[in-house]
Structure 1
Amino acid sequence: MNLETQKECAPLPPGEGPGERANESLKFSSASIAGRRQHNDDACAVCQPEGAELRSRGALAAVADGVASAEAGGEAARAAVSGFLSDYYSTPETWPLKKAAARVLQSLNGWLYRKSGGGEIKQGWLTTFSTAIFKGASVHLIHIGDSRIYRLRGDRLECLTRDHSRALGPGRTFLARALGMDAHVDVDYRREELQPGDTYLVSSDGVHDFLPAETVVGILHNSGDNAARALVDAALDAGSGDNLSAVVCRVNRVEASDDDLLNHNRQLPFPPDLRPGNKLDGYLILQELHTSSRSQLYLARDLDTGELRAIKTPSVNFSDDPLYIERFIAEEWTGRRLDHPGIIRVYPPRPERQFLYHVLEYIDGQNLRQWMQLNPQPAVEQVRELIAQLVSALRRLQRMEIVHGDLKPENIMVTADGRLKLIDLGGADGAGIREHLNLADDTPPGSKNYAAPEYFLGDRPSHRSDIFSLGVIAYELLTGRYPYPERAGFRHYQLKHYASLRYTRARQHREDIPEWIDGALRKACAPDPGHRYPALSEFVHDLHTPNPEFSHERERPLMERNPLLFWQLVALLLLLSHLLHLL
């Protein structure tokens, strides 16, 4: 089976002959034949999308070799290739490539495993799978089984994958790992930098087992656009009795790394201070909405549509700060990929944009800080509703593998009809964002009173970091206070360890809060991320339904409730005992 795919990666009917796909940077050729066997249990594919899809997910070459001893090996190979093409290009753009490929293959493996009735070799849907994904200046290799991926650089041919097989004796091997063989699959991943002139070969064992390296090098150097078919024919002539598949990719030019948004927009100048009546790239500035040391926000009217928009401009204080500029650009990139009623909408810029700024949805309302000042100590049920809205928005971020990073009342808007919207995605972070925009690995902490402790201890933030911030906001909505001593001022916040934060029970500020809700708040904003809720749904459940674990909180020994205090008291008692003994 030979799949040649176009922009949308829709498979064409299977064929026996070679296929060629070319653009300015990469040139592919492929071939797959049954050889001396009655049926072709191999499958191969090439996919070259265009535009944003090419930048975010890349072009790929894939080969799957159905296990010959399995009755459904051919079906498994074809399902693996077509399923990967379909699902991989449908994964969220904010996922890093490695995660996207792994998620798709885990899903495919589970489906094949169930089809085979639990991994029975004889009737199993078992197949190898190897793909080279060309994205920006890198190639990402995904591999399981004994198909192979080679690189020819100059005259040196190098195998970049490791066969997942074991020798049983002379001329006999056992495939130790394949899709559909087990309920869980371990997939090899490798990333390599591309160089102009590189040639990559993805082949099944019916090809590479029958061709010496010097023959492969000669064919790749001399066969031009017909290299894949020439390799298949040469292996067949060399005595191959297996199915034969090969995909060849020639790297003519190395594209700029990943998304070009960062490279393009970092060249744009900061806009000048704007005043009512000014025009900016087709937007009429109506008034200033907010200003801070880091940015300005203006109300504007789109002169083409007449609709109101918010324009966010960077502060000139950071015009020479490359990290600030990268984060400002990343905020736009992230927002344009989120579509949720509880998250502010970020609109694409005009093609003729001359300055660096964001075009945002205009939200007519007040921020949650202002709402809290007008509604001190609201009813528990009202707080539950507000938290449920925030949880819905945070779930969308979680599915996109994004951590908001700066949840606080000032970054949450309350509309006229009482709906909440997350704004200010400047602290948003995730592996996919860093990969696509080539950002630094460091994540700046948000506000001192809401940012999770791991930001200040050098540990990597996660979705539990947002749960911490959400717990603090819920606590503040109910009590008007912080669960930990307020951290005021602009000095760099120092935190030595998680145990140095001491939770103040919400019931000390508001006696009508049930003990079990206080327990849910304490767990949500636990200093140690390992002690927090692992899922937003658990926090929501415990805010609505009494958890027996919290109802008996006072009955727990001090050692469990506060181990640091327990050992401090022990040390104090020992010290007093020693002093009394000396007296």
Structure 2
Amino acid sequence: MTLEFSSACSAGRRQYNDDACAVCNPAATELRSHGALAALADGVASAEAGGEAARAAISGFLSDYYSTPETWPVKQAAARVLHSLNSWLYRQGAGDEIAQGWLTTFSAVVFKGASAHLIHIGDSRIYRLRGGKLECLTRDHSRALGPGRTFLSRALGMDAHVDVDYRREELRAGDIYLLSSDGVHDFLPSETVAEILQESGEAAAQALVDAALAGGSGDNLSAAVCRIHRVRPSGNELLDRNRQLPFPPDLRPGDKVDDYLILQELHASPRSQLYLARDIDSDALRAIKTPSINFADDPAYIERFVAEEWTGRRLDHPGIVKIFPPRARRQFLYHVLEYIDGQNLRQWMQLNPAPGVEQVRELISQLVSALRRLQRMEIVHGDLKPENIMVAKDGRLKLIDLGGADGSGLREQLQLGGYPGEEAPPGSKNYAAPEYFFDDAPSHRSDIFSLGVITYELLTGRYPYRERAGFRHYQLKSYAGMQYISARQHREDIPEWIDGALRRACAPDPRNRYPALSEFVHDLQTPNPQFTREREKPLLERNPLLFWQLVALLLLLSHLLHLL
């Protein structure tokens, strides 16, 4: 993406300037991760600190937005930053009358990849000139009080909670975006604005301010203009560069790949191979993950393989496998991971078929710590199962295999499509959350379901639902089609309240699961009276499907007895 900014801000005929605007076109790395942006704020003139609010909103947004994780989508990053700014402005005004408040409008456009992300609150505006046609892309948050009088219904700092408009637009070469305060657009007809944008080049923002002032504007005046000269279809050089790398051949002990000496094969599957290797430069042991040659012609597989490396390099947590950055001159496509000396959780479970409840709690707390890190980065692991959890020799757990990781931020950042072979969801059918089979979007509650299944299996050696065998993924007609099997049927020493916690974590409908990992951990450690009350409820309330099935059976038997 190649773009060009210009901006202008003036007090006009007023003594003080309560407007603020800024543009930011960062260096290549920051441009790829967060994009460029233009932002404009118009402090409410009737408020005591409108100007201070506008300047604080602009400076705070630029500073905080570029500090958000790369894995967050623009919509969420902007929302988080603005909610924080709004809370600060509201506290500054102490929630008093508008005349005492720190109030400001706020409009911003983030230009990232091939998209424009519009964020808006108040009566400043965002326009787009495309093909000679000027279009306002925002709506004013104001209400008419009478002829020539309006009331601002939404602004930053006005209320403890803020509702911000968001819109995403596809960028095209030749587009011109304009952000303006009401001191500009209220005094210029659309034809004049379009003409100035088309003919004034780099001086367009200042020309708009001058024209509005000449047109009788008595307000502060601000304008920010962005011209889009070129839009790249891909937008991510990492994918572009790595997808061109050839797949490595089958490796054997003694082979060298760049600066790594292959020692032995650790694991092989239809999708990838894992080798133990030694870094020739540092003499450190590493694990080398290579893609399967079976997918050499599958662009979606290659994108996901590259995305796994990109994701892993941004997750710094002792409970998540570390992925090292590639060498400058990499000849093949592969990942370099830390080598974990130990066994996977499946092997550990086979050697420890009946662990104590306290031991299971400790293992789960380690997994929860790693999953919390993923949640903070807005990433869903997507393939939680014992085979993807390593138990190191010191007993510590590590999540591995981020190939199924997903999230709106990852898709936006790397411009990913669906999963390879989208007819089947990621992960094992016995651990994947049911919503995957309904083509619903994954969420953190999807990982909570998988965690609940793993906890259940650690305690009982069984699955909480009927086991799904074979390679074909099953079809679900409704969430009610999955019937939970009480853990106490397999192990009587499990307290009812722990069984209740497992039941909720593994609830088929994501709306009935724990909304937070901390709640699940708490209920595994402390008896929740709710689960005792659940047992005391009538069958109709506890399991309406089973109730009506029994009623139907009784009616059928009654009918048969009557016939006899």
TM-score (norm 2): 0.96
Consecutive unaligned residues in structure 1, runs of 5 or more = 1-23
- For 1:370, the equivalent position in structure 2 comes to 347
- For 2:377, the equivalent position in structure 1 comes to 400
AA at the equivalent of 2:456: Y
Equivalent residues, number: 560
AA at the equivalent of 2:37: L
2:338 aligned with 1:361: yes
2:172 aligned with 1:195: yes
Identify the range of structure 1 (208-217 vs 474-483) with the bigger mean alpha-carbon deviation. 208-217
* Equivalent position to 1:385, from 362, 369, 378: 362
2:9 aligned with 1:32: yes
2:139 aligned with 1:162: yes
Partner SS state of residue 98, structure 2: coil
Structure 2 CA distance, aligned partners of 1:157 and 1:460?
36
Closer/same/farther in 2, CA of residues 500 and 223 from structure 1, 3 Å limit: closer
* Equivalent position to 2:242, from 255, 258, 265: 265
1:502-513 to 2 correspondences below 5 Å: 502-513=483-494
* Equivalent position to 1:291, from 268, 280, 283: 268
Structure 1 CA distance, aligned partners of 2:442 and 2:473?
18
Structure 2 CA distance, aligned partners of 1:307 and 1:574?
72
AA at the equivalent of 2:550: L
Partner SS state of residue 122, structure 1: helix
1:563-578 to 2 correspondences below 5 Å: 563-578=544-559
Percent identity of paired positions between Structure 1 and Structure 2 = 81
* Equivalent position to 2:18, from 41, 45, 57: 41
Deviation at 1:216, TM superposition (A): 2.2
1:224-235 to 2 correspondences below 5 Å: 224-235=201-212
After the TM superposition, which parts of structure 1 deviate over 4 Å for at least 4 consecutive aligned residues?
A: none
Partner SS state of residue 252, structure 1: strand
* Equivalent position to 2:539, from 554, 558, 574: 558
1:429-448 to 2 correspondences below 5 Å: 429-441=406-418, 444-448=425-429
Do 1:119 and 1:182's aligned partners in 2 also have CA atoms closer than 8 Å? no
AA at the equivalent of 2:350: Q
Deviation at 1:553, TM superposition (A): 4.7
Deviations 1:137-180 (A, max 9, x none): 22111111111112223432222222222222222222121111
Deviation at 1:340, TM superposition (A): 0.7
- For 1:122, the equivalent position in structure 2 comes to 99
AA at the equivalent of 2:183: G
2:82 aligned with 1:101: no
Structure 2 CA distance, aligned partners of 1:554 and 1:182?
43
Structure 1 CA distance, aligned partners of 2:233 and 2:284?
36
Deviations 1:335-362 (A, max 9, x none): 1111111001111212211221111111
Partner SS state of residue 478, structure 1: helix
1:180-191 to 2 correspondences below 5 Å: 180-191=157-168
Deviation at 1:56, TM superposition (A): 1.8
Structure 2 CA distance, aligned partners of 1:553 and 1:210?
65
Structure 1 CA distance, aligned partners of 2:145 and 2:537?
59
Structure 2 CA distance, aligned partners of 1:472 and 1:409?
10
Identify the range of structure 1 (552-561 vs 507-516) with the bigger mean alpha-carbon deviation. 552-561
Structure 1 CA distance, aligned partners of 2:430 and 2:173?
50
- For 1:469, the equivalent position in structure 2 comes to 450
- For 2:461, the equivalent position in structure 1 comes to 480
AA at the equivalent of 2:440: D
* Equivalent position to 2:294, from 317, 329, 352: 317
- For 2:108, the equivalent position in structure 1 comes to 131
Partner SS state of residue 304, structure 2: helix
Closer/same/farther in 2, CA of residues 216 and 570 from structure 1, 3 Å limit: same
Do 2:234 and 2:240's aligned partners in 1 also have CA atoms closer than 8 Å? no
Structure 2 CA distance, aligned partners of 1:503 and 1:220?
63
Structure 1 CA distance, aligned partners of 2:93 and 2:108?
23
Structure 1 CA distance, aligned partners of 2:301 and 2:461?
32
Deviation at 1:119, TM superposition (A): 5.4
Closer/same/farther in 2, CA of residues 290 and 556 from structure 1, 3 Å limit: same
Deviation at 1:552, TM superposition (A): 4.7
Identify the range of structure 1 (77-86 vs 223-232) with the bigger mean alpha-carbon deviation. 223-232
AA at the equivalent of 1:115: Q
Identify the range of structure 1 (165-174 vs 388-397) with the bigger mean alpha-carbon deviation. 165-174
AA at the equivalent of 1:250: R
Structure 1 CA distance, aligned partners of 2:23 and 2:116?
14
Deviations 1:197-254 (A, max 9, x none): 2222111111121122233233223333222222212222222111111111122222
AA at the equivalent of 2:432: A
Do 1:445 and 1:456's aligned partners in 2 also have CA atoms closer than 8 Å? no
Deviations 1:274-315 (A, max 9, x none): 111111122111111111111100111222222221110111
AA at the equivalent of 2:97: E
2:44 aligned with 1:63: no
Do 2:429 and 2:473's aligned partners in 1 also have CA atoms closer than 8 Å? no
Deviation at 1:321, TM superposition (A): 2.3
* Equivalent position to 2:527, from 539, 546, 551: 546
Identify the range of structure 1 (502-511 vs 383-392) with the bigger mean alpha-carbon deviation. 502-511
Partner SS state of residue 135, structure 2: strand
Do 2:300 and 2:418's aligned partners in 1 also have CA atoms closer than 8 Å? no
Do 1:471 and 1:524's aligned partners in 2 also have CA atoms closer than 8 Å? yes
Closer/same/farther in 2, CA of residues 281 and 119 from structure 1, 3 Å limit: farther
Consecutive unaligned residues in structure 2, runs of 5 or more = none
Identify the range of structure 1 (479-488 vs 258-267) with the bigger mean alpha-carbon deviation. 258-267
TM-score (norm 1): 0.93
- For 1:176, the equivalent position in structure 2 comes to 153
Structure 1 CA distance, aligned partners of 2:82 and 2:96?
16
Structure 2 CA distance, aligned partners of 1:554 and 1:196?
63
Partner SS state of residue 245, structure 2: coil
Deviation at 1:394, TM superposition (A): 0.6
Structure 2 CA distance, aligned partners of 1:436 and 1:40?
37
